[in-house]
Structure 1
Amino acid sequence: MQSINHNGIAGLSLKARPGTSSILQQSIERLASGLRINGAKDDAAGLAIANRMGANINADSVISRGLDDAISLAQTAESSLGSISSMLIRAKGLAIQSVNDTLSESDRASIQNEFATILAGINSISEGTEIFGLYPLATDSPELQPALLGNVAPVSTKFPVASKDYSFSSGIVPLAYIPAGSTNIAITINSLGADDDIQLFTRDGKHLAGTPINGSDPDFTWVSKGITDSASADTNLLTEANGFKSDAAYDDSMLISGGAAWDINGSESVSYKGMNIAYSGDGDRYEDSTNGGFNDGSNGSNLLERVTIDNVKEDLLVVVVGNGAFTANMTWGNLETPTEQPAEPPKKSIPYQVVTSANFGDKIETITLDTTPADTKTLGINEARLDTVQSAQSAMGALDSALAKVDGYRSQYGAAINRFESSKSVLAQQKIATQSAQSRIQDADYALETSKMLKAQILQESQNAVLKIANQAPQNLLALLRG
């Protein structure tokens, strides 16, 4: 049956066109994006699987960068531990040298000075090794350090144990300061054969006890340091870095320099602002008319000097001036803790957690690097000394233990580096495999999509031709009417 109101052939052609157009549009979209799945409508399950794989691939990349950081941290710490190991080996050599009975006290004092420098160097490396804001070698239980006056620490840091001898190098820099509120203080020094003299100052420059700077017979130790009068004392000694106030001026009006005869318990005393101060006098000072009244300490008979204070009303500075080395000890009734504390918090090592796996839906896997504190206190050598045969013998065992601990730390970091590098290798292979699997799911097959596109284009052109023919069918009815 033929009719004008309905064209069946055209209807069939129009019915097929949307499907062909959809296939053509989908093929063009996939070829343009390179993806088989451009939305959930293409493959909902495949989209979910591909997204999970994408999350794992991204996580592996982040984890790999974190492992690089962990390797850098371990390498930095291990390198610093290598330096500490070398310093401990040198310290062990000094300890062996100090045990030798052929050494004099001054020889051992020199060895102790080098040993003290090594300990300070170990602490410096421990606190100064920093990466990513972390301090892997710092102590894991820091103690808040007391405030300094300029560069001068309180006596508690220089004399942590009462009545114990500690070795120091001479100079004109203040040894320590005595905090206000301390009571029954007694500081004793031994010049070890050279001329080292103890001095006591207030922070505003008053010289309360010690050897004279001005006058007809200034002390030789001051002169040897270029301090010959009040003006040179103001310039070379009374500085803010040395703990003095900014407006300090030298004043020896209250100075006690010792009585007519040396007395370790005090040959001369003075009272200042409620503080009763006694000074033994300079035991190795002597009069030598051939040397202009100066002494060089070579002929002295008493190597000890002592300053005592019954009640410290204000912060006092202790200075030992000389040209060699000396030992010192301190006793106290009450040793006040400075009220001010430094603004910068102490360095502290903490465990370092490294992520090794974080796959989608799984629990995060981590490795924890334990703390490796390499400060002298943790290593057990902070109180080691080499100034006597007995102390040097004890120090040798402590140094051996410290070296063993450092070697253990280095082994720990070496094993961690190897493990991190292995984890990186596994992640790299895992990432390649996951990317390949993800590609098979979501990437477009260009050969297949191209053939689909060509097929759709051919069908669409054929449908256009058929529709054109179908549209010509009603015209055949005119021929019937004309006939």
Structure 2
Amino acid sequence: MVSLKTNMSAMIAQKYMGDAQADVVDAQSKLSSGSRIVKASDDAAGLQIANRLYAQTRGIDTAQSNANNAYSIAQTAEGALHESTNMLQKLRELALQSANGANTQNDRESIHLEAEMLKDDLDRIALTTTFAGEELFDGYFGKKSFYLGPDANGVSLNLKNMRTDHSEMGGNFVRASDSTDENWSVTESGNELRFDYNDRQGKSEQLDIRLKTGDDIHQVASYINGQQDVMKASVTEDFELQFFASTKLAPEGFEVSGSFANSLAIGDTEPIGLDDLDLSNVGDAQLGIAVVDASLKYVDGHRSEIGGFQNGVSRTIDNLTSMDSNISVAEGSIRDTDYARASTRLVKSQILGQATSALYAQANQNPAAALSLLG
């Protein structure tokens, strides 16, 4: 039917030409933006999933930054403690040297002066080791949390006080009030020795030692040290027996009892720290060896804690990097434009638009055919 009022062919061509033009615009927007989902109507469910994945990758990026900061703090702290360990090793060498009977009093005074300088250097490290202006070992850093996951999963780093006057850098000691001499020996009626103390968990502990009759005071000290590893026994130049226990093993000190303790008038313990170290005489040098050993265990134990924290952070960084890569790929597979497909669609839409445009022009010529019938 030929009609003047209603041109169905032109209307159909116009509809398809509009659809083709809309497809061209949509394909061009996806190609220019690089995103398959330009607006929510493109893929409502995909947009929601992609946004969740994007939020997770943003969280991972922040977590990686936090982890790198945490690792840097731990690395700075461990480097400082490495130097502290070296100084404590030198202090131990000086204590052993001072305790040697071949040294004169002048030698011991010189050794003591060097030890004092080393203690000052240890305090200097504790007070001047900083990260971003914050002191690490002055006792105020405490425990801080670092969030190393995209969902606020935290780990804690506790940096301890490393000053020489800290209680963990020493322990408690007691020295016999009565001295002995080279002719003294353990009697059969005075060979019982007992130590009572509370361990770090507050549990009551005791050590019972029966000494060997006939041993001199130096043999007694060696025998006590060989029977256990909590109390350290040593002898001064005046043949006075002394005992030391670190704060780590006996935080509240210890009590000495038994017939042997009574025979030498061994009284109450007193605290002693690394800052009290005196290497100017044999007795204090002997005691100083035990004090430095306690300090070394404290420092090296803290180094182990920091090293474990570093290893954990390093593994976390590796995991975050892997997560970031995999999640980004997953987000890209949902959100990103497939350029091959979008380009094909653009060319197809452009060809359809050109074809429908030609058909639309041809359809508009049909009314002219109707007019020709009227003469």
Compute the TM-score of the two structures, normalised by the length of structure 2.
0.69
Distance 1:63 1:134 in 2: 21
Which of the residues 153, 162, 178 maps onto 1:374? 162
Partner of 2:364: 471
Matched residue, 1:74: 74
Letter of the 2:329 counterpart: S
Task: Find the counterpart in structure 1 of residue 324 from structure 2.
Answer: 431
Displacement, 1:22? 1.6
- Aligned counterparts of 1:447 and 1:94: Cα–Cα separation in 2: 77
Instruction: State yes or no: 1:365 paired with 2:258.
Output: no
* 1:419 shift after superposition: 1.4
Distance 2:105 2:141 in 1: 39
CA deviation digits over 1:349-380, x for unaligned, max 9?
A: 23232222124xxxx11111112321112223
Aligned residue number for residue 7 of structure 1: 7
Letter in 2 for 1:61: D
Paired position in structure 2 for 1:454:
347
Secondary structure of the 2:148 match is strand
Number of residue pairs matched by the alignment: 270
Q: Which amino acid aligns with 1:350?
A: G
In the other structure, the counterpart of 2:291 is 398
The Cα shift of 1:25 comes to 0.7
Q: Is 1:387 the counterpart of 2:175 in the alignment?
A: no
| Between structures 1 and 2, the one with greater helix share | 2
Query: Does 2:26 align with 1:26?
Result: yes
SS where residue 357 of structure 1 aligns?
A: coil
CA RMSD in angstroms comes to 1.6
Partners of 1:100 and 1:10 lie apart in 2 by: 115
Q: CA deviation at 1:59?
A: 1.8
Answer yes or no: is the 8 Å Cα contact 2:57–2:150 preserved in 1: no
Distance 1:65 1:116 in 2: 41
Q: Does the alignment pair 1:351 with 2:143? A: yes
CA contact (8 A) 2:62 2:150 kept: no
Alpha-carbon distance between aligned partners in 2 of 1:354 and 1:104, rounded to the nearest angstrom: 54
Q: CA deviation at 1:102?
A: 4.3
Aligned residue number for residue 56 of structure 1 = 56
Question: What secondary structure sits across from 2:276 in the alignment?
Answer: coil
Q: Please report how far the alpha carbon of residue 125 of structure 1 lies from its aligned counterpart in structure 2 after TM superposition.
A: 0.7
SS of 1:376's equivalent?
A: coil
Give the CA deviation at 1:441.
0.2
For 2:368 and 2:89, the matched residues in 1 are separated by 111
- Quote the Cα distance in structure 2 between the aligned partners of 1:385 and 1:411: 29
Could you say which residue in structure 1 is the equivalent of 2:115?
115
Counterpart selection for 2:334 from 441, 446, 459: 441
State the AA in 1 paired with 2:144.
Y
CA separation in 2, counterparts of 1:74 and 1:119?
23
Deviations 1:237-263, CA, capped at 9 Å, x for gaps: xxxxxxxxxxxxxxxxxxxxxxxxxxx
Select between 105-114 and 83-92 the one with higher mean Cα deviation: 105-114
2: CA distance, partners of 1:30 / 1:15: 23
1:203-252 CA deviation, whole Å, 9 max, x = no partner? xxxxxxxxxxxxxxxxxxxxxxxxxxxxxxxxxxxxxxxxxxxxxxxxxx
CA distance in 2, matches of 1:437, 1:73: 33
Say which SS state the counterpart of residue 145 (structure 2) adopts: strand
Q: C-alpha displacement at 1:104, in angstroms?
A: 4.0
The separation in 2 between residues aligned to 1:470 and 1:452, in whole angstroms, is: 26
SS of equivalent to 1:137: coil
Alpha-carbon distance in 2 for matches of 1:478, 1:101: 135
Report what 1:407 is aligned to: 300
Residue 358 of structure 1 aligns with an amino acid whose one-letter code is P
Give me the identity figure in percent.
30
After TM superposition, give the deviation of residue 124 of structure 1 in Å. 0.3
SS at match of 1:377: coil
Q: Secondary structure at the match of 2:16?
A: helix
Q: 1:212-223 residue pairs with structure 2 within 5 A?
A: none
Q: Secondary structure at the match of 1:2?
A: coil
**Equivalent residue runs for 1:165-204 within 5 Å:** none
Per-residue deviation at 1:11?
1.2
Cα distance in 1 between the residues matched to 2:66 and 2:345? 45
CA offsets 1:83-114 (integer angstroms, 9 cap, x no match): 11111111111112222344444433222211
The 2-side partners of 1:31 and 1:420 are apart by 41
Deviation at 1:394, TM superposition (A): 1.8
Q: Deviations over 1:161-206 (max 9, x none)?
A: xxxxxxxxxxxxxxxxxxxxxxxxxxxxxxxxxxxxxxxxxxxxxx
Distance in 2 separating the partners of 1:366 and 1:86 = 33
Take 1:15 and 1:100, find their aligned partners in 2: how far apart are those partners?
A: 107
* Residue in structure 2 matched with residue 40 of structure 1 by the alignment: 40
Q: Could you say what secondary structure the match of 1:79 adopts?
A: helix
- Long gaps (5+) in structure 1: 141-347
Partner amino acid, structure 2, of 1:121? D
Say yes or no: does 1:127 pair with 2:20: no
TM-score normalised by length of structure 1: 0.54
How far has the Cα of 1:53 moved from its partner? 1.1
What does residue range 243-322 of structure 1 map to in structure 2 within 5 Å? Answer: none
